[in-house]
Chain A
C-alpha cells in the first residue's frame, strides 16, 4: 500500500505556478524528506495531499486506487494524517479531549465516554512510546509534548501516511532526538512518513530518501548515505551557496551596550530574564544562543522598551536607556530587527513605501510637522528597494504580497539605511530562503565593519556561530556561558541545556 502523487500541477490565481508536474511516492515503512526553500512548493503539495487545495492536474493514488480528496476529512478517511507546524490544539482542553475532539466516543444519551477516550490515548501512547499525561491541560505542557499529542491525534484517526510539516522548528535539541525516536517507531510500525524540512542535517539524519524541490518542481532525489549538506544546499538553491559567513576579525572599540543584572517578566509574570549582564562593543557582533523560550524574546523586548524592566539597567554609551521607549531608542541610533516580522516588524496591509518609514515617518524628509511628503518618501523607498535587492513588483504593493525573505529585506533596509550605534537583530533570518539569508548576514557584518555594535539573537546555533564574534548562551533566563565562535559545538550545546561547561 503505497502513496503516490503523480504529475501534480497547481497554479494559483495570479499565475504563480506553485507545483509544476510534481511526482512523489512514499512506501509503507519509508521516511521521505521533502527538502526545499520557502516558496519551493512543499507546503502547497502537502496541502493538495491533505485535501486543502485542489490540484489543476495530476492524481493521488493510494494502493493503486486513484483518490479524490476534496477536503481534509477525505484525506483522513484515506489514511493520511498531517502534523502541522502550528499545532491545532485547544489550550484549555486536556490531552484526551484534544485527541478525541471531532470524533468523541459517546455512550448513553450522547454523553462522551471519557474512560474510553482516555483508554484510546493511553493505548496509542504506550504502543508508540509517545509519553503524555492524558489528563494534563494543553496549556500546561511543553511544545514537545504538544507535538506528541498531535501525533497521537493523527494515529487515533488511523493514518497510514503521516506528513510532518517542519516538525523540529519548535523543539529543543533533546526533544528533536526524542522526535527522531518517535519517527523510527512509526516507521517500524509500517507507516509511510513525509518529513517537510529545510534543515539539511535533519534530512540526512532521519530520511530513507530525500526529495529536493525548487521553484515548484522536483529538482533532485538523493540517498542520505550518498550526499552531503553542501550538495543538498546547492540543489535546493540552484547554484553553489556559501554556507559560511565571510568576515574579517573583529576590532572591538568602545563600550556601546551595557546590560547589568537585567530582570524581565514574561506575560505570565514569571521571571523570563533573571539577572542577565553583558556588554557589546562597537565593531563586534555578540550572538545570543539558546534553545527557544529561554528568555531571548523577553531580553530583547526589555532592552528595546517593548516590555517593562523589573530591575537592572541598560546603558547605551553614557545614556541610561532602561525602560526608554522605542521612539527614544530610534532617535538615539538603535536599529531593531524584531523577532516576528509579521507580528511587529511590518504592517502587512501597508505598502512597501509605508513600511519603509514605519519608524521614521515623523522625521524629515518624510514629513514636516504633520504633513507627509510622499514624494521624498517614495524616492527613498525606490532607492532602498534597489540597494537592498528587495524583489517586489513595485513599491506600492502591500508588503504582504512579498515572500518572507523579501519582507525581511524591507525591514533590514529600513533599519540599516541610517547610521546607527547599535543594531539589535532578533531571529534575523528565521524562515527565509538561503539567498536572503546570505544577503542579510552580509549586511549585518557590513554594519559591524562600519563601527556599529551588533547584538544578534538566534535559536539556530549555526547562525550564531557563523555571525558572532562572541557567543553568550542563555538558559532559563540566565547567562549559562560565554564562548568564542570557534568553541566546540558540544560545549556550547551543553551550556544551552543548562549543564555548566
Chain B
C-alpha cells in the first residue's frame, strides 16, 4: 500500500455534552471545572432567594412608596437576618452541623441509587417505594432478630438492601422481560409500597401494641445506629456508611467490569448488545442495585432516628429529593455526596431560618428548585457569568457523507 497519511482535514466540531448525564470517568476529570457551574448555580439561587425574601414582606412593600430608603434598609436587614439564620442553622454550630449531616445521610444513599440508575440509562423514580420496602425489611430484622449490635446492625442494613433490591429489581425485570418502561413501573411501585406499608403495619406482630394507626413496634436496641458524636447530636454512623457507599458505587461504576457494562448499556444499548453484553441482565441488576441503595436509605430511617419505628411516612420526601440530588450531582457518586450535603444543610438551616427570622421554610424548597433549574440549564449560568463552557454544537441538519 502507499502512504496512509490522510490530510489533516478532519473537522468535527466537539459535540455538546448532556448536562444531566455528563460523563465523568474519574480518569483525569478536572474537579475545579466540574464544581464551577454548581457553585455559581447555588450563588445565583441565593441571590434570587434574597429578592424573594425582600419583596415578600407586605409591610416593606407598603413602606417602599412612603420611604424607599428605609424600605431598602429593612430589606437588607431582613435578607441578612434570614441568610445568617440559614448559615447558623446549617454550619454555625456543632449541633447545626450534626443536623445537616443527619439530614444528608439518607439523601446520599437514595441519591446514589438514582444516580446509578441514570448511569445505566434507567430513570428510577422509585427510590421512595424502594426506601419503604427496604425500611420494612429492616424493621422485621430489627424487631425479630436478637443478636449483639455488632452483627445486628449490619444484618438489619443488609435486610434494607435486600428489600430495596427486590423492589427495584422487579421493575428492572419487568423492563428486561416485557419492555415495560421503568418510569411507569417505579412510580406505580411507589404507590403499591405505600399502601402495602399502610396495611402490613397494622397487622399483629408488626404493629406497635396499643396503636390503631400503621406504626411498627420499636426496633431492638441492638439494631439502632449509634450516634456519632454522643447522645446530644442526632447524626449517626449511618453517615459513615453512606459515605463508604459513595466510594463503593464510584468503584463499581468506574473500576469494575459490571460498571463498564452499566455505563455502556446505559449510553448505547445496541452497542452493548453488539459487544456481547446481556442487556436484560444488566438492566435488571442495575435496577436491583439502585433499589438496594435506596432500600438502605429506608433502613437508615428506622435504624437511625427516634422513635426507631417504621411508618408509611418513613421516607418523607427523601425518595424524590434523591432524584434532585442525583441530577445536581450529575449522576456522579462524588457529586451526589456534595449535593446531598448541600441539601441537608439547606434543610437544617431552613428550620433555623423559619424559627429565628420568620422566613417560611418553603423558601428552602424554592432555593433547591432554583439550584436544580440552574444546574439543569447550564446555558443560563454561562450566559449570566460569561463562563466559557464545553463548546456547544449548533443545530446541524446535514450530516453524513458530505462532511
Q: Is B392 an interface residue (CB 8 A)?
A: yes
Q: Is A53 an interface residue (CB 8 A)?
A: yes
Which B residues lie within 8 Å of A47 (CB)? 396-398
Question: Distance in Å from the Cβ of A47 to the closest Cβ of chain B?
Answer: 6
Question: Distance in Å from the Cβ of A232 to the closest Cβ of chain B?
Answer: 15
Which A residues lie within 8 Å of B2 (CB)? 241-242, 438
Question: Distance in Å from the Cβ of A339 to the closest Cβ of chain B?
Answer: 10
Chain B facing A: main interface SS:
loop
| Distance of A347 Cα from B263 Cα, bound (Å) | 9
Would you call B274 and A338 a contact (CB within 8 A)? yes
Would you call A348 and B392 a contact (CB within 8 A)? no
**Number of B residues, CB within 8 Å of A:** 51
Which B residues lie within 8 Å of A38 (CB)? 10, 401-403
Q: Which residue of chain A has the shortest Cβ distance to B261 in the bound complex?
A: A361
Nearest 5 CB-CB pairs, A to B? Answer: A435-B6, A327-B276, A403-B10, A13-B391, A359-B275
Interface residues of B (CB under 8 A from A): 1-15, 21, 23, 25, 27-28, 254-258, 260-261, 263-264, 267-268, 270-277, 391-392, 394-403
Interface residues of A (CB under 8 A from B): 12-14, 16-18, 36-44, 46-47, 50, 52-53, 72, 82, 84-86, 88, 165-166, 169, 196-198, 214-216, 237-239, 241-242, 246, 306, 325-330, 336, 338, 343-351, 353-354, 358-359, 361-362, 367, 370-372, 374, 389, 391, 396, 398, 400-406, 430-431, 433-436, 438-439, 441-442
State which of A12, A242, A354, A401 has its C-beta within 8 Å of the C-beta of B260: A354
Question: Distance in Å from the Cβ of B264 to the closest Cβ of chain A?
Answer: 5
A-B contact number at CB 8 A: 218
Known: A85-B401, A361-B257, A370-B257. A52 touches B7 (CB 8 A): no
Question: Distance in Å from the Cβ of A16 to the closest Cβ of chain B?
Answer: 5
| Distance of A216 Cα from B13 Cα, bound (Å) | 13
Would you call A88 and B397 a contact (CB within 8 A)? yes
27 contacts between A and B (CB under 8 A): A16-B11, A37-B9, A52-B398, A85-B398, A86-B400, A165-B402, A169-B401, A216-B9, A237-B7, A239-B7, A325-B276, A326-B275, A327-B277, A344-B270, A358-B264, A367-B256, A370-B256, A391-B8, A402-B12, A403-B11, A405-B6, A433-B9, A435-B5, A435-B6, A435-B7, A436-B6, A439-B1
Would you call B275 and A358 a contact (CB within 8 A)? yes
| Distance of A88 Cα from B397 Cα, bound (Å) | 9
Would you call B10 and A406 a contact (CB within 8 A)? yes
| Distance of A42 Cα from B400 Cα, bound (Å) | 11
Known: A14-B391, A214-B7, A361-B260. A371 touches B255 (CB 8 A): yes
If A43-B403, A72-B397, A371-B255 are given as contacts, then 15 extra A-B residue pairs at C-beta distance below 8 Å, sorted by A number, are: A14-B14, A16-B12, A16-B13, A85-B399, A85-B400, A197-B402, A237-B6, A354-B260, A358-B264, A370-B256, A374-B255, A391-B6, A398-B15, A406-B10, A441-B1
Question: Distance in Å from the Cβ of B387 to the closest Cβ of chain A?
Answer: 13
Would you call A53 and B14 a contact (CB within 8 A)? no
| Distance of A431 Cα from B193 Cα, bound (Å) | 52
State which of A39, A237, A351, A436 has its C-beta within 8 Å of the C-beta of B12: A39
Would you call A40 and B9 a contact (CB within 8 A)? yes
Q: Which residue of chain B has the shortest Cβ distance to A433 in the bound complex?
A: B6
